[in-house]
Amino acid sequence: MLTGDMETIGVLMTCLPPHPYLVEQLEKRFTLHKLHLIPDKAQFFSTHRAAIRAVVGNSTAGADAELIDQLPNLEIVSSFSVGLDKIDLAKCKERGIRVTNTPDVLTDDVADLAIGLMLAVLRRLCESDRYVRSGLWKKGDYKLTTKFTGKRVGIIGLGRIGMAIAKRAEAFNCPISYFARTEKTDVPYKYHPSVTELAANCDILVVACALTQETRHIVNREVLDALGPKGVLINIGRGPHVDEPELVAALVEGRLGGAGIDVFENEPHVPEELFGLENVVLLPHVGSGTEETRKEMADLVLGNLEAHFLNKPLLTPVVSLDDLSSVHAPGATTRGPLQDLQPSKPEFLKTHGQDIRAVVCNPVVGVYAQLIDLLPNLEIVATCSVGVDKIDLSKCEEKGIKVTNTPDVLTDEVAELEVGLELSVFRKICACDGYVRSGRWKKDGDVALTTKLTGKTVGIVGLGWIGSAIAKESSVVVFHLSSKRETRHIVGYKVIDALGPKGILINIGRGAHIDEPALVSALLQGRVGGAGLDAYENEPQIPKELFGLDNVVLSPHVGSDTVQTSTAMGDLAVANLEAHFNKKPLLTPVVFIRKHSQPNNMNPKGVLMTSPLFTYLEQELEARFNIFKLFHQPSKPEFLKTHQQDIRAVVCDPAFGVDAQLIDQLPNLEIVATCSVGVDRIDLSKCEEKGIRVTNTPDVLTDDVADLAVGLMLSVLRKICACDGYVRGGRWKKDGDFALTTKLTGKTVGIVGLGRIGSAIAKRAAAFSCPISYHSRSEKPNSNYKYYSNIIDLARNSEILVVACSLTEETRHIISDKVIDALGPKGILINIGRGAHIDEPALVSALLQGRLGGAGLDVYENEPEVPKELFRLDNVVLLPHVGSDTIETSNAMGDLVIANLEAHFNKQPLLTPVLGS
């Protein structure tokens, strides 16, 4: 309880009021002076200097040496921020003035926003929202964007906020690496000893360190160039961390792929050159700008002041700066292999690029187009591996560069390791070893019985050299084949479930051959018997859930790592280089295989496209089939009448399907392949009646749609698009700070439909500490999430409701007035399913009347028509049906469409049948 004496203590607020609650409480408990309202500051200090014993500031205005010198009785500076760069800490230490800040409470908000910026930049959420609101969608689809899941995320500063960002990014299967003053021994992430090296090895670079003299302009031209024209920079640290003119130049010149920026060097001034760029998202320093967090920060400021004046321990004293306070300047000496001995790779390559005629690499660090372009005289690339998936073969072929690998020499070792993994999993050799070492044999008795290997049926995926060697030596499911787009995630849910609860999976190929989350889920749920793994999707990161299982053996990619084989591989690499430079035949050349080496018998098959498809798929179809483009024809009935006998397949998308009328006009139609998961635009009854096979493209778009759902949650709650418009419109400078928004972390998320996409959304949302519940036709026996049999109950118990189910007659308008009212005026609705899932007039009415808190919509009832009443609302984000529209996923969908058509015409089983097998 404050005494009357405390109410006379003078507190000077040097910043603009950061939150009404803080001002109200300070005025109630102390004598508060607001510096920004004082016209004659010299007179004020002359009169009140002796009475002021505390200063409250923030990240914009704190307490510099000049201010401190004017306050002889100053005892404490309490900052409404984590950062302390606006406080002269040396002067405070000299004077014995205590300093506090507000750590931890804003960690979640800033980390949430960092992920929101990544999604907003890569998926162009704000630009897409503007595209819809401006009516451009009616003139054509929005362009393809870039996938987030799986991108390599590099973090500068692995403190509280950096760790929180890493945790969230991991849920999107992003490999994490970092730079800090020193390497951390208690984290599983890869450490880089320089910022430039980190930037060169990531797709997204996040600035999350404290601002000090050492970290000022830590992101400079060298770092930006290392990040490159496909890289994205995210800054949620401080504006001066980035050399802003260099950032602007890199973006304008196309040397950097994009940026998400919440902080600037001279706030609220933002470089106007950025306003016209669509590959940037500009926010008005709202990292911790949510109602929930600002109140917690205010309570912490108040609590520290009260603790000080009541002679109690401070809640959050500043003992030292963040763990990056003495961070090395960019370009610090690196360590590691030859290439890493160069402190500045761009400078090194600029100096020596003309001299380099050969590159030697390994399966981890390969040779990409960017490096090849920097080496004008490069003649040969020699890799110490069999796999060449880390080498840009297209670029090598284009420039006439030879490529060699090291086959055969590692066959025996990899085959031996595979058999060892089989034995180790079945006989639990490693678990038995641990049982003995821990003394449990003596204490607990004999170990449990294991399983026999001899006589087990073995299936081998990929019967090359290694597969053949395994077949000779072993008697279980073994996995070894080359890594390419067609084999990525070849082992998915269906394969794992077919293997079953007694089956064992061995992977000595590449990590990306296996859908790792699907494998982890199957192992945890007992749907597969065990696994022996030597390769992982995001090496050296391994799913932590596996560490507690004794039916898995985890090997750190050592398939060929014996002294003998490493020496033999080295000899082969050297021999290939010598052969090349002595103009002799290469020992193990990699033959370039043309992409379109398809059987000639494909070409006569007539395939009808009902609508324009993305360029990649159209090119692939034209290379293989006789294509008819219905959408180009002024008279469709006449066109179909002329060509109906020739058309044996239809390829469609979710917007333009295949109805009964079209089917009846195509007497020789055999198969319909849709570039979507949903098949609600295809008349399945008519297809079944006529024996027409139907395929879709499941799985490949799961990650993109789940990413977008989270992006919509963050964009609606944190008003990312409205903030971006606020900055671009010059309002930050004119009208002051943007209004506070709402926190995502900890919100209860209800999901309608817990299939592949719903489960992927749940996994991501859980990384934001969101409790998950769901509604579906029936309860999922293997799910740990709370189940509601009634969707109204789900809505009533959710703060965010996500629609992720398929569209059927039962789910049409599943989101009704009653569901919306149950969600309530603080609830958020996200729809990445189908437009017809929602009663659209009811939704519009609820938003206009304030009966619903907000909405993130990617789909609508009558696309591309969007209710115009929504265009003026800033609590909605409107996207033009871009759920799976990334370049990566579109290409994967295209590959699946082609593969299904080829399988059909070659009389092989379909890969993803909806009707027919």
3-state class of 393 per DSSP? helix
At which residue do the structure tokens 């700070």 appear? 737
- Residues 58/60/66/71 CA torsion (nearest 10 deg): -30
CB 794 within 8 A of CB 750: yes
What residues pair up with 461 in beta bridges, in sequence order?
Answer: 479
3-state class of 438 per DSSP? coil
Catalytic position from the list 33, 98, 285, 756: 285
Catalytic position from the list 98, 152, 160, 238: 238
**Which helix H or strand E contains 399, and what residues bound it?**
helix 393-399
Q: Look up residue 771 and give its amino acid.
A: P
Among candidate residues 698, 693, 711, the one with its CA nearest the CA of residue 756: 698
Among candidate residues 298, 303, 329, 297, the one with its CA nearest the CA of residue 315: 303
CB 743 within 8 A of CB 755: no
Catalytic position from the list 267, 296, 379, 863: 267
Residue 412, burial from CB neighbour count under 10 angstroms (0-12, 13-18, 19+):
middle
CB 537 within 8 A of CB 514: yes
Q: How far apart are CA 10 and CA 6, in angstroms?
A: 9
Q: How far apart are CA 136 and CA 134, in angstroms?
A: 6
CB 32 within 8 A of CB 20: no
Tokens at 393, concatenated: 């073969």
- The angle formed by the CA atoms of residues 794, 676 and 505, to the nearest 5 degrees, is 80
At which residue do the structure tokens 């921020």 appear? 81
3-state class of 497 per DSSP? helix
Active site residue 756: no
Q: Positive or negative CA dihedral for 806, 808, 811, 813?
A: positive
- Residues 442/443/445/447 CA torsion (nearest 10 deg): -90
Active site residue 214: no
CB 380 within 8 A of CB 402: yes
Q: How many CB atoms lie within 10 A of CB 103?
A: 18
Tokens at 904, concatenated: 């059909």
Q: How many CA atoms lie within 13 A of 351 on its CB side?
A: 6
Instruction: Find out whether the peptide bond into 540 is cis, omega within 30 degrees of 0.
Output: yes
Tokens at 788, concatenated: 């509601």
Q: How far apart are CA 910 and CA 590, in angstroms?
A: 31
CB 384 within 8 A of CB 362: yes
- Angle at which helix 160-170 crosses helix 107-122, to 10 degrees, equals 50
Q: How far apart are CA 838 and CA 860, in angstroms?
A: 8
3-state SS track over 697-711:
CCCCCHHHHHHHHHH
CB 294 within 8 A of CB 19: yes
3-state SS track over 512-572:
HHECHHHHHHHHHHCCCCEEEECCCCECCECCHHHHHCCCEEECCCCCCCCHHHHHHHHHH
Tokens at 634, concatenated: 């002024």
R_g over Cα of the chain: 30
- What residues act catalytically? 238, 267, 285
